Amino acid sequence: MKMVPRCARCTEKKCRTGEDCFALADEVKKLYDDEQIRELHRAATAIEGRHYCREHRLRETILFAREMGYRKIGLAFCIGLADEVKVVDEILRQDFDVYSVCCKNCAIDKKVFEMEQIDDDLVEYMCNPAGQAELLNRAGSEFNLICGLCIGHDAIFTQLSRAPVSTLIAKDRVLAHNPAGAIYCQYIRRKMMK
């Protein structure tokens, strides 16, 4: 029988007090037999435990990377966040060797792949998340951060990155890169509910 998880609709969240609603705990525990998964999880849990509600996402990212012993950090960023990523790079390079790749790397015309354009009268160069992943793979990054990649492009980048990936900045051009703002703002939320 196919299991269909719908935890967002649960009003009790008994998992918080120890109930295994799916009766899969023993099976799922085996996923942590993978050494890389276990180490990532150990470090993530350590950062949560030591800094819960005391550090912002950028600081937690630095602490996590240190905890994992990473030295080489990759930044896959949107050209629209070039100013922000310059600051991120400056902060991170105090502790790490930082590699960064802009979304427009390799300057590939959208027409090469017959992609939809924003303005058909212009030559538009496509975002290249596959290229970002490849360049960071070749550079030997140990941990990659997404800084404002478009929806879907982030998925391609994550799928092709050899190093673990985390999101530092989620793109939202309308809400100052704060997608949760659509949930917190009652006016937007009301428009979204049919």
3-state secondary structure (DSSP) of residue 125: strand
Does the residue 28 lie in any domain? no
Residue-wise pLDDT for 104-152, tens only, equals 999 999 999 998 999 888 899 999 999 999 999 999 999 999 999 999 9
Number of domains in the chain: 2
pLDDT beyond 90 at 1: no
- Going by pLDDT thresholds of 50, 70 and 90, the confidence category of residue 160 is very high
Residues 169 and 83 in one domain: yes
pLDDT, tens digit (0-9, with 9 covering 90-100), for 65-103: 999 999 999 999 999 999 999 999 999 999 999 999 999
| Local structure of residue 7 (DSSP, 8 states) | G
Q: What is the pTM of this model?
A: 0.92
Place 2 in a pLDDT band, splitting at 50, 70 and 90: confident
Angle between helices 57-68 and 82-92 (to 10 degrees): 40
**163 shares a domain with 130:** yes
Same domain as 65, residue 143: no
pLDDT of residue 87: 98
Q: Which two tokens stand for residue 129?
A: 């998340």
Evaluate whether 154 touches 83 at the Cβ level (below 8 Å). Answer: no
Alpha-carbon distance 43 to 161, whole Å? 20
- Tokens representing residue 61 in the block: 């990212």
What range defines the domain where residue 46 resides? 34-69
79 in a domain, yes or no? yes
Mean pLDDT of 161-170: 98
Give the model's pLDDT for residue 120: 87
Q: Residues 5-16: what's their mean pLDDT? A: 94
